[in-house]
Amino acid sequence: MSMLPVYAKAVLKALPFGTRPGTDLPDRTIARSIAIDATAYAGFAKVIEAPLRDVVHPGYLHVLAFPLSMQLLSDPAVPLPLVGMVHIRNRVEVIRPVRIGDVVDFSVSLAGPFAHPAGTTIDVEVTAQVEGETVLTETTTYLAKGKRLAGAQEQPQPAREDFVAPLPTARWRLDPIIGQRYAKVSGDYNPIHLNGLAARGFGFPKVIAHGMYTASRALAAADPRLESYRWDVSFAKPILLPATVGFAFTAGARHEAADFAVFDPAKGKPHVLSSVSSSAAPTGIA
């Protein structure tokens, strides 16, 4: 699915003469069935440096549902502009593995809007099924900074723990080309990841890495060998490219339930905080 019409619609909606929607989200669900193609998945796995196995990385399922998410968020009836929205967190429940060759039935809808200290959020809710069995659910939260909506629902905000940077167990050198490489395998051609001028237009001095690239690569490094688990992700400071970032476990270990982070090794500031835990177990990250 081409994302160009979606981005064009989002830009038009953001213009001063664009549609002026109400305050409610459209009651709409988009469904799509996609077969997991081995070649396409291998390209994704290579970019995020994931081991290539029969089991599909949940970040790839996010990628497959992403065009449907953007199609919903760019709907003129949505009361917040897609342009400028910030991806702040994800919660993915992996109920059982998805494998190469499976046909995945996606169902995508919106929830909210929710009041947030910094503006208003909308959740994109994804359900993935294989042969009628739910195999994964995902909630992706987007923040419209500074936008307030009368009637937005109150929602408890997850507490953010203080982050103390550990010694990195790995250092990743990220060059600007990674934005183009991830865009090619994910379909996310948001210009803030590809063009310095566009990035500056949104307040970034340089292009920034895709958040889901960083989160997916971190999960690949953690490589949980669990049949079912919950993957929580919290996005903090964007990665300005080029950059060298650190990766380390803050609790647990590789192949197991664990907490891990991608961070600035010089300043100790987090970029992405992640947790893999048994499903329905509490997590400390926001």
Instruction: Write out the chain's pLDDT in tens, 286 residues.
Output: 445 555 555 454 554 445 455 678 989 999 999 999 999 999 999 999 999 999 999 999 999 999 999 999 999 999 999 988 999 999 999 999 999 999 999 999 999 999 999 999 999 999 999 999 999 999 999 999 999 998 888 888 877 778 999 999 999 999 999 999 999 999 999 999 999 999 999 899 999 999 999 999 999 999 999 999 999 999 999 999 999 999 999 999 999 999 999 999 999 999 999 999 987 444 444 4
Phi, psi of 242 (to 5 degrees): -75, 160
Task: Pull the structure tokens for residue 137.
Answer: 């659910």
173: nearest Cα among 246, 236, 267, 272: 246
pLDDT at 6: 55
Alpha-carbon distance of 180 to 114, in angstroms, equals: 33
- Predicted confidence at residue 84, as pLDDT, reads 87
Give, rounded to a whole angstrom, the gap between the first and last alpha carbons of the chain.
32
Say if CB 218 and CB 247 are below 8 A apart: yes
Whole-angstrom distance, CA of residue 141 vs CA of residue 135:
20
| 285 in Cβ contact with 163 (< 8 Å) | no
3-class DSSP assignment, residue 184: helix
In this prediction, residue 16 carries a pLDDT of 46
Three-class secondary structure assignment of 68-128: HHHHHHCCCCCCCCCCCCEEEEEEEEECCCCECCCEEEEEEEEEEEEEECCEEEEEEEEEE
pLDDT the model gives residue 282: 40
Q: What tokens were used for 250?
A: 């803050």
CA 236 distance to own-chain centroid: 12
pTM of the full structure = 0.89
Give CA separation, 98 vs 19, 80, 150, 268, 277, in Å.
Answer: 40, 33, 41, 36, 18
Q: What is the radius of gyration, based on Cα positions, of the chain?
A: 18
Omega cis (within 30) before 113: yes
List the domains of the chain with CATH numbers.
1-152 (3.10.129.10), 162-281 (3.10.129.10)
Q: What single-letter amino acid sits at 235?
A: F
